C-alpha cells in the first residue's frame, strides 16, 4: 500500500514542479511585456513633452492652456479619471454602432479612423 502512496506523491510532486516551471516562464514573459510597455510610455511622454515645448516656444502658449485642454478631454466621458475612455460612434462602412477602442468594425470589418492622435 505504501508503494501506491509513494507513486502518487511523486506524481503530485512532478505536477507541482511542472506548474511552478510554467509559472516562472509566464512571469518572465510578463516582466518582458511590462518592460516594453514602460519603454513605450517613456517614449510617449518624451514625445508629448517635446511637442508641448515646441508649441509653447513658437506660439507663446502657457502651461495652463495644456492643462485646461487635458481636463476638457478627460471630462468628455463625464468622469475626471485621467484617461481617455472609448466612445460609441457610427461605422462609416455599415452605419452600425461601434466602440472607438476597436481598430475596425466588428460587423463589416472597415478600419475605424483613430479618434485621438495618440491611439
Domain ranges across the chain: 1-58
- Cell numbers for 16, please give them: 507541482
**pLDDT tens-digit map of 57-79:** 999 999 999 999 999 988 987 88
pTM: 0.56
Rounded to whole angstroms, the Cα distance separating 46 from 24 reads 33
Res 54 pLDDT > 70: yes
SS3 for 27-49, per residue? HHHHHHHHHHHHHHHHHHHHHHH
Amino acid at each position: 500500500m505504501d508503494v501506491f502512496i509513494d507513486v502518487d506523491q511523486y506524481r503530485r510532486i512532478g505536477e507541482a514542479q511542472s506548474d511552478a516551471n510554467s509559472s516562472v516562464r509566464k512571469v518572465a514573459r510578463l516582466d518582458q511585456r511590462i518592460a516594453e510597455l514602460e519603454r513605450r510610455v517613456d517614449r510617449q511622454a518624451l514625445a508629448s513633452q517635446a511637442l508641448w515645448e515646441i508649441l509653447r516656444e513658437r506660439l507663446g502658449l502657457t502651461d495652463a492652456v495644456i492643462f485646461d485642454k487635458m481636463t476638457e478631454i478627460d471630462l468628455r466621458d463625464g468622469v475626471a479619471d485621467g484617461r481617455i475612455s472609448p466612445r460609441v460612434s457610427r461605422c462609416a462602412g455599415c452605419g452600425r454602432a461601434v466602440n472607438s477602442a476597436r481598430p475596425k468594425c466588428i460587423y463589416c470589418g472597415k478600419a475605424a479612423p483613430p479618434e485621438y492622435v495618440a491611439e
